[in-house]
Amino acid sequence: MLTKLKKKIQTALTVEAIAAHRIGLTPNRISGIGIILAFLSAFTYAEWQGKSVYLILATILLLFSGFCDALDGIVARLFQEATPFGGFLDSLLDRYADAAVYMGIILGGLCEASWGFVALVGSLLVSYSRARAEATGIRMESVGLAERAERMIILVIASIVAFFWNPFESMNAGIVLLALLSNLTVLQRSLYAYSKLKKKENY
C-alpha cells in the first residue's frame, strides 16, 4: 500500500545515502547495522518488565533499523553496488529482524503468545508469498494490505500508545491487527498469483 510513499522517502534520503557512502558504509554493512538494531529492539521489548521507557527505546531502535533497511537499497542503486547476493542478504536479514522483534514482544509478555505467533507466521509468509510468486515472473510489489512498511508502522504506533496507556492492551491490539492483516495479505497475494498463473495457462 505504501509503495508510492516508499519511493518518495527513498528520493528524500539521497543526501543521507551519499553521506553514508562517503564514510565507507556499503549496502551490506548498512544491512548489518540494521539487523543489529532490530535485535537490540527485540531485546528491549523482551526486557521491558513494566518499564515504559523501554517501549520508547525499543521503538526508536526499530525505527533506526527500518531507516537502515531503506538506506541500504538507496546506496546500492546510487553507486551501482547492487548485487544478486546483496539483494538476497537484505531480504534474509529482514526476515530475521521481523522474527526477532515479534519474539521479543512475545517473550516480554506484551501480547498473547498465540496472537504473537500468528502475527509472526503471517509476517514471514507475506514475504515468502512474494518470493515464490516473483520466482514465477509475477510482480508482487504493492499487492496486499500489510507489506513490511505497513507492519512496522503499526508496531511503532502500538508501542507509542503503550507508553501512555496500558502496555499489554495496546501492544496486544497492535499484534492482533498485524496477525489479521498479514494473513489477509497472504490470502490476497495467493489469489492474485492464482489469477495471473491461470491467465498464463490459458494462453
Phi-psi region of 142 (alpha: psi -120 to 50; beta: other; left: phi over 0): left
- Give CA torsion, residues 180, 57, 9, 132, to 10 deg: -40
Selection from 135, 129, 137, 148 nearest residue 188 by Cα = 129
E strand segments, the chain: none
The number of CA neighbours under 13 Å toward the Cβ of 105 is: 36
The active-site residue out of 69, 90, 94, 98 is: 94
SS3 label, residue 47:
coil
13-33 b/e (C-beta count within 10 Å ≥ 16 → b): beeebeebbeeebbbbebbbb
**How far apart are alpha carbons 35 and 115 in whole angstroms?**
24
Is 94 tagged catalytic? yes
Catalytic residue numbers? 94
